[in-house]
């Protein structure tokens, strides 16, 4: 009898629904597409691209309380782009690009936040603080449009832009080297911190309007950053400073920051600066590259307009060129953005103009221009 009762009790227990607890999550993302007209001084081209300033992506984010004021959560984000930022003039569609942006777990509480996995380094975005609402079409990263376009000499020729690429002839097995062409993307770099990578990161709790962060990752990669955001003088101010080393990636040290201010009546200002010192042990030039950018904008209603100018000196530190110093990629960008808040849609248009000052021993090149028309739609 006891065995029978026990059997019935076990069966009843197994049949009883159990309560399962799991981290709640939310799906969201965006699609950001643009049409561009590129011109290198000799040829022009219309391209339909995925805007790399903030590319098409989707994400899952979630969190759950674990007691005593602490939480655990995750962030998983995948970027999927067709014809990412376009290619050289008259090139074929650059294809389908995928990128695992984030795959991290985090724990947080009154003591701060600790993150493990693929995600933002401590300083990511430190040179990109911007309150203009025109990020889609013009910001401190000036290569979102035209970055893959080659600089052309007066006769239509190109300049060497990197180490040789070797290809094998499938018929006779001969090996033929070729040198990539020097592009706007080669001669300009905003030198923001080291983006996203597999790392451990700690963020401090808010210290008034300031937060601090440190991270360490693969290949001796380290970063530290401070961020500041608050209302000030009737407006809003936002800024950051960072310092980092990526010895395995060729950077002995990199540092910089940005600051943005939005007046209560809509006028806004942006300034950013960064330097990158290459690690000569990796075989690249010891030349220090310097980049700066400034922008002024105005916002009214659901509209925003801005104009910016910037210069990048000697960004092509690791390329095969006549000399590693004496290069200055400079240019301006203007943009307009209209927001449809109910649908979370941005409509934007802009113009980018870029020039390159070359060393004395290198031929002069023509200007690169890009006209942009696009839209970004967010979903959640």
* The predicted structure's pLDDT at residue 92: 80
Residues with pLDDT less than 50, the chain: 1-3, 5-19, 320-322
* The predicted structure's pLDDT at residue 316: 80
Enumerate domains of the chain plus CATH numbers.
25-379 (2.40.160.10)
* The predicted structure's pLDDT at residue 152: 95
Decide if 59 contacts 76 (C-beta within 8 A). yes
Q: 255-283 burial, b for 16+ CB within 10 Å, e for fewer?
A: bbbbbbbbeeebebbbbbbbebbbbeeee
C-alpha to C-alpha distance for 240 and 86, rounded to whole angstroms? 31
Residue 209: left (phi > 0), alpha (psi -120 to 50), or beta? Answer: alpha
Nearest to 277 by CA among 312, 300, 246, 308: 246
HSE-up of residue 303 (Cα within 13 Å, Cβ side)? 6
Decide if 230 contacts 206 (C-beta within 8 A). no
What are the backbone angles phi and psi of residue 71, rounded to the nearest 5°? -135, 155
* The predicted structure's pLDDT at residue 273: 98
* The predicted structure's pLDDT at residue 318: 59
Decide if 216 contacts 225 (C-beta within 8 A). no
* The predicted structure's pLDDT at residue 7: 47
C-alpha to C-alpha distance for 232 and 247, rounded to whole angstroms? 38
Give pTM, 2 decimals.
0.87
In the structure, how many helices (H) and strands (E) does the chain have? 2, 19
* The predicted structure's pLDDT at residue 317: 65
* The predicted structure's pLDDT at residue 323: 60
* The predicted structure's pLDDT at residue 360: 83
C-alpha to C-alpha distance for 318 and 3, rounded to whole angstroms? 79
């Amino acid at each position: 009898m006891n065995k029978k009762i026990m059997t019935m009790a076990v069966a009843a227990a197994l049949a009883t629904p159990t309560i399962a607890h799991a981290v709640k999550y939310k799906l969201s993302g965006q699609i950001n597409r643009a049409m561009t007209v590129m011109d290198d001084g000799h040829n022009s081209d219309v391209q339909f691209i995925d805007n790399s300033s903030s590319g098409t992506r989707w994400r899952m984010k979630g969190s759950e309380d674990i007691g005593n004021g602490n939480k655990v959560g995750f962030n998983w984000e995948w970027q999927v782009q067709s014809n990412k930022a376009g290619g050289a003039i008259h090139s074929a569609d650059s294809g389908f690009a995928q990128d695992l942006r984030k795959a991290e777990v985090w724990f947080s509480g009154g003591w701060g936040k600790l993150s493990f996995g693929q995600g933002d380094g401590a300083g990511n975005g430190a040179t990109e603080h911007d309150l203009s609402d025109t990020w889609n079409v013009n910001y401190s990263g000036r290569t979102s449009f035209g970055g893959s376009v080659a600089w052309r000499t007066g006769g239509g020729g190109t300049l060497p832009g990197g180490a040789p690429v070797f290809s094998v002839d499938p018929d006779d097995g001969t090996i033929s080297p070729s040198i990539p062409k020097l592009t706007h993307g080669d001669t300009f770099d905003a030198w923001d911190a080291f983006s996203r990578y597999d790392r451990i990161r700690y963020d401090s709790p808010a210290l008034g309007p300031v937060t601090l962060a440190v991270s360490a990752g693969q290949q001796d990669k380290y970063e530290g950053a401070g961020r500041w955001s608050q209302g000030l003088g009737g407006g809003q101010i936002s800024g950051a400073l960072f310092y980092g080393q990526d010895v395995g990636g060729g950077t002995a040290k990199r540092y910089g920051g940005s600051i943005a201010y939005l007046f209560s009546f809509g006028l806004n200002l942006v300034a950013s600066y960064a330097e990158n010192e290459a690690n000569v042990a990796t075989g690249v030039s010891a030349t220090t590259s310097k980049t700066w950018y400034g922008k002024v904008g105005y916002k009214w209603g659901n509209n925003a307009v801005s104009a910016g100018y910037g210069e990048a000196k000697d960004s092509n530190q690791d390329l095969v060129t006549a000399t590693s110093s004496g290069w200055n990629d400079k240019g301006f960008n203007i943009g307009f953005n209209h927001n449809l808040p109910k649908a979370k849609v941005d409509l934007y248009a802009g113009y980018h103009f870029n020039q390159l000052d070359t060393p004395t021993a290198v031929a002069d090149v023509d200007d690169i221009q890009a006209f942009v028309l696009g839209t970004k739609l967010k979903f959640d």
